[in-house]
Amino acid sequence: MPVQQAAVVGAGSWGTALAKLLSDKGYRISLWGHRQEHVDEIIANRENLTYLSGFKLTDNLTATTDLAAAVSGQPVVLMVVPSHGYREVFRRLLPHLSDNTYVISAVKGIENDTLMTMDQVMEDELARISVPPTLHLGVLAGPSFAKEVAAGVPTAVTVAARTREEALFCQQLFNTPLFRVYASTDLIGMELSGALKNPIAIGAGICDGLGYGTNTRAALITRGLAEITRLGVKMGAQPLTFSGLAGMGDLVLTCTGDLSRNRQVGLKLGQGQNIKQIVAEMEMVAEGVKTTKSAWNLARRAGVEMPILEQVYRVIYEDMDCGEAVKTLLARSLKEEIEF
């Protein structure tokens, strides 16, 4: 179906960048934010000064705090709210969605209490309704800092949906000359890739904060990818997904890029700061802090060994010394790199 408009739910940096991408492509975009003063700022300045300053927004983008008005009648709804608030926001907007609406998650996290991905959260909420609307659910993931996407830096990502036809629709929706989109049907692999790379990026930041070199970072990224893949395959994902844009691509970006909030959290932990102080000083959410806890519980439930994740968990939630965490990792019994 031809699309001329869409709603973007979430007016943070990533939501605004995606709203700008689609509005620059010519779509009429309704951008929802939960704070009236923030929305008023966007309307008055045609710019998100709080979370994505320096990028003017086109006139075909409107901002609102009225969630029902934002999503009603929209053929596409893009969800870009933090994972810990995802269920509540989706539950609120669900009664206003029409049949055959595409709801695409661009959120990289796992719900703490249920250990569900965002796609699973949406399915769970749909199952609670006696006569739910027929929705097409999708996921967008890949190496894509919001500021670079807004600036038009060449970027490649992947979108996934349950069927090839749905994935191809999402691919055409987002693709531009500077934002190349690949298609997939591995929803669980995409979501786990996007969520689990954040705790690994905190680990990479810890190593950098401790003053270790690029040898250490390269080893951590590689073994971190092995951990993510183990859990993903155990949960039914396709192994090759983790060597693609949503897996290796986003992991490398988040572990090495200066714009990575999760890496910045790790850097400050490695330099001796307290996690509560770090989080309190951050203007934007670093998903990896909460995801570390849910991912650790998910790995335990699945019976999958994830030693890097475990040490990041201990640093954040058990106040373990960062240097001791590294020593614990290196002191583990020797193993084959690839288990046959």
Return the active site residues. Answer: 197
- Is residue 93 within 8 Å of 65, Cβ to Cβ? no
Q: In 3-state terms, what secondary structure has residue 114? A: coil
179 bridge partner residues: 155, 176
The token duo for 23 is 């509005």
The token duo for 164 is 């090839």
d(CA 247, CA 178): 21
157 bridge partner residues: 181
Q: Please provide residue 233's backbone torsions phi and psi, each rounded to the nearest 5 degrees.
A: -65, -40
- Is residue 199 within 8 Å of 292, Cβ to Cβ? yes
Q: Are strands 155-161 and 135-141 parallel, antiparallel or unpaired?
A: antiparallel
d(CA 159, CA 144): 13
Amino acid making up residue 168: L
- Is residue 28 within 8 Å of 7, Cβ to Cβ? no
79 bridge partner residues: 9, 105
Q: 170-190 burial string, b = 16+ CB within 10 Å, else e?
A: bbebbbeeebbbbbbbbbbbb
